[in-house]
Amino acid sequence: MPLQDDDEICFCFHVSLRKVKSFCRIEKPRVASQISQCLSAGTGCGWCRPMLRKIHKQECNVAEPWWRQIDDAADTDYHSTERDADAAQLDADTYAGGRQTYLKETGARPPQTDGAS
């Protein structure tokens, strides 16, 4: 089953697919990175950034200038089946499992949420 609106897209900040879609429809961010204004989505471990870019492309239908476009396939960032897929190709467990592997393999850390520094 594809990712559902109540499924989390950004685990670091508990941002659901519904929230990201709503943000895109209401705020119409010109570039995908502006989705970070939606509850800080994408500003933690970085796992969800390719998914946020895909959602932005689908929901906002904004043509980014060539110098702002990021080619996920050519990006030197971490790649996996789960990270490169779009929301219609993944279920929530597979997406979450991909993130666990990403954290292990890259050493990326979710933000501290307990106030410790």
Nearest to 72 by CA among 89, 94, 51: 51
Residue 49, token pair as written in the block? 């950034």
Q: Which of 46, 54, 83, 90 binds ligand FES (CB under 6 A)?
A: 46
Binding-site size for ligand FES (CB under 6 A) equals 11
Residues contacting 35, CB < 8 A, separation 6+: 20, 23, 24, 29, 41, 42, 52, 55, 56
Residue 29 vs 42, nearer CB to ligand FES: 42
CB 24, min distance to ligand FES, A: 16
* Contact flag: residue 24 with ligand FES (CB under 6 A): no
What does the binding site for ligand FES look like in residue numbers (CB under 6 A)? 10-12, 42-48, 110
